[in-house]
Structure 1
């Protein structure tokens, strides 16, 4: 923005100003403590311009009263404090937090003149009609006048509330899951749940837990129901308070009668139980009882205006009436937060977690109860007649529960058939003892078994524990048909039997197979890990895409500036009405325009990849065949990359193999747009990975066959496995009815090649061969090869790669097509091998490796030189060239290096080096990219600081990081590792120049 600041009093067209700019001009500044704009110092005007250009919520606090002037982002952050905040002191507008938090920060800044930064600070602000809990990362940067006195502060406020609250709520869910997992009964379930809810009394200030179970703490069950599925659990008609969590008080009901049709709250409970959905209770509902919003009011300043009713309903397909409910929670919502979509998602996840855990506990509780009943029956029958023993033996032999009897020495006296099946042993295997049982158990469960066995035999106490056997189990899912399998898990219950003398005589036990339940628990844990990993991949993908979009955007901005500058200079030198440009200016404009086109195409490819990926995920991507000439398509693909071939100095060839002509291929039915998309991705990669090699050559091959190349054993190993081998693509009527052909394509390059480990990572979503790929070369979205694989298989083909490190790579794929006309009508004869070449013979490497010393003095500070001497360290040749051109136009003397290692070699030839003589190259400052091949920017600046410490460099080297990594933590990391300052792409040279001079002034003081 150029309309404020020093140009405040000029006549400016209001339509050229933003709404926020017009608002700032409308403020009665004459009535403020800093007076009218005409009296403001130039520093204040400049600071306003800088602040308005800052995309971060930012504000100026000027003068003794810290009068506020802020940008559009800070207006949104301020909420209802805007517009009164503009032109006033924050001590008044932020009185709820100013004294306890910010007075010391301001005084420290005025005393020391140093900036401060505070991350994720908790604040309670009046911004939307209530005292709101929020988290902010803010900075206070003192602004110094010419006499080094603090005249104000530059303040930024980046709100991180959503991030902090999400982490806190996720931790709450994990804590609840960990606590409930150890429960073995419903009574323990309520105790564990309420204890875990005490951890987070910020999002849930108070919680009331009501149980619908019977007085013994078990889910009610009708006499006719004997199954073990949690769908057989039936809730009782009474709702009893199981406990409270947090700061709860007041007239809390101890019980509800679900048969009471006159109580509105009971009706609400019934509706929520029937639907299984969380109900939101608001104090504006006149039908709700007052006690709901009085709970916990005496402990806080504000009462909760919103509460939740969360039913804990077990999973069941046939539960339309909500009978499978063990209870519900009534929970207060924090009066410091709005009940928004994130809060609602937290409540939903909490309800699902409680329901799943309750179902597992009920299953376990029922199994333990049955085991106890069986064990009791066994003990009774042992004292009865031989007839009863025979009946018991018969029962145990047909039971699916493993039953066993051991002597006091651990010898197996009896085991039924189910026990031998569980152990995967032949029935009645002789001479079994506890020492021979242990090899049946996995190593991870041995300690558990030995500890409980000692408690049973030596401690003479009943035991119940879970262990894992080496035997396997299988289960076919009724819904999906998927076969589940793994090691068997058993819940073992055993108790001792004593003789008349009180000594241990036997141990009785039974094993219940709980393999499926353990599989379900592990699946839940795996899905949590998958969710976290998906989030990490998403963040990495966003970082990578941001980097790849910002790099060409920076070059586009600078090229646009270059064109505009040339035109403006030509206008100023034109006498008449005709604009005259010299040949050099025309070449510069053409070169800038070509650069803009290359960068725009790069961004378009990334966006195309993302769009294609979204269509693949939604199953909306289709193949549309039409009649095409394959040779023309591959020639077109090569022509599309003409600028990239030229800029990278790479030779491009098209080679048509004899098999294509042997089969007399003319025109075929296939989808040319999908074929072109694959070729563009592969050619782009080939150019990127070949441009830095000594030999730069890319060849596009075309061949044909009547048999599928993937059918042979050799090719079957070469091509990557299909993503979905169960659903091969078919050809409908749109593909014609002529002969089926398989067109074979290959993109061969002389690039850096791939190792075996890198080859394994290819063709995966978001994957690149090497985790440093985006550092070594300008990468894309990480989706290109994955999309190529999907598009190839959609067209009846497969894709694969062969490569050798240092030699090159060949990406080969084939597509299924049909002739467009009968073979008899082709009329062609076998042609000679055709090769098309695309080459730029005038290509030269743009790296400036030698520099002659200038006649001006040795650069020590900006006061003893007429111009800035700058070293640009940038691996992207386009950005390197554009930046160098712009800096030279700004009057700078520019040197370039392709990576950090080149930069270190160049530094030893400059006036910074020890024992530098009069022929040393002058240097003022270094502009360094972060992500580069050979040596990245962070490693390079670390080496530079080490060379300063060792004396190889005699004084600090000013280094500014120039990067597309724009996240706050990335900028902080760059400064922590030695960067003096950071400039994020895209940027303008006119903004960079004062930043460089300011840094040089600091280091020369």
Structure 2
């Protein structure tokens, strides 16, 4: 027999493979594995490349340490040895066909920057991968291929970086698009065109210039000496300004040469080290002006007229600019390196109430809202030191009346100044806040509609149950009137059944609302599942295969065991109903350590949790159904086949226990419902040692019991049971009356009290007050609905006990005998 030495090495994954329970796995012991599998695993384990492997007809999954670094807690280390469909359910539709193609004898596959949506840390995440699938030859396998070797590299970051670069270039191009003057951005000593705006394209004609040098793309410009000018600017680092420079250009092949006159500037671009890396070209076509000036030189009279006209145009332009500065409703200003607006227009006073002299002597930081200071200081420093502009930059400026206005800024640095304009967007912000309030009101309306549906469903079910109780009691009374007492027990049994169903419905509602009274104990969930396995098998029937996978070394959890059993049974019943033609149901436990990101995705605190999951391969759920699955009274079953409270009860119980429930499902594939419960650091309690001994018969008692209950019928029944058992009984109808009795010198061995009492003192407050003078007093709380904090959040003091309403009188007798054994 071969040995398992091929599993040597491999660091963490090698150790995990050697420790794995392969004897109970379909592959069997490693010593019996095919040689091809053994060789491939040894190659994979000792490689530093990211490698994985699918083996056999079930595509059993293996991977090495390098691959494990890309996995999150959902798949590492729990996915080792699982079928590929179960490891990668969300992308199996993408990769499953590729695996099957190679397994069927097809050639190896190669995929570059393949987009895959993976479940990571509890949420969908867009990822990109470059990988290959290669066949692993095995003569003993059908078709000669035993498995598929996966060699991969995650390229998500490279793809996203590339996209961001494209988006940044697009943003800059859009800015260029809006400029009225022609612009171009040249990079490197060869003056490669990186960006041009539409005005530049109109100047040179429809030419393909991007990515090409000026000399190559515009040979006619090179011939006229423009490339030499660019070289001089690039080498010297000094800008070049030209006025009315002639430029001859043929816009298109075969078209006549166009003579233009240009005003332009070549501005060198420097990096953080001061090195020239490119040239920014900006200018204006002034052909009409230049031609007019040339024509004027031929005629003194025309020149004088044109000069006068030009002076008039200049005056008008200057007047127009001045009027724009004066009348603009936008704030305008020139900011110096000390953070003071050297120039400001009148809008500062009309919008913010500050006169020009105040603006000119006050650093703009003094006008900012305190919450915006740090962000503005950083933006100002980047603008002054790096020349970085600020577009659509929002902040709050103080008004002269003491209030604040929201402003949206455009700030362009040039030399040692920043040229700024700002628009008052306070009204826009207030409109957005108003819209948010309207949306909140709509959500409240939707909540009220949900409450209406909840109460309607509750009334429907309770009316049915009350109808059964009333009918059975009337029938019993009729039989008694007729003297036919032999039929009475049957009607009483019907009434009792309806009462229990009503109690179950109430318990489910309390579980959903997270208001049920829990009795949490340190619990071994593996032991709990094992104890329910036979019941679950009988419940789901022989057509469904049940598999239980209990994690080794499972942590204890602080939970109410009967409630967890009920939740697990609910999940199994739902899974059974999703597989009407049979299938496979898997119950699995695991230890989960959730970091901040994974915990946030699950709406939990970061920490350690025990997970209990139920997986089926049934019909699955659509996203729409998943979104409503935990709603009370929502069900996809036919009328009469479900109340719609099962999953809502599981959800409420898990949240009240400090945990969560999560659904992963795909229509036609199946579903996994996973309960997360917080880890408890005390050892689990053996349920066999905590069950109280049943006393066959009640013995005469001499103890004194005080009963405090505001419902007369319940108080009368409890007192009657106690009196029949031989106890001395005292009673009160509210907390104040009960406390007066407790403050007397009367001997009281047990206090039985409702939690929700009328008046200023509830049952817990009365008990705590009584304990201050009677520290040894034993207390039994009766509760049907109460904030869990009132009875201690499952952390009752010694000799305090809870009995949940409704309860049978026999249960009351047993509980009292357990507390007062004799």
- Give the TM-score taking structure 2 as reference length: 0.31
- Give the TM-score taking structure 1 as reference length: 0.27
- Higher gyration radius (CA): 2
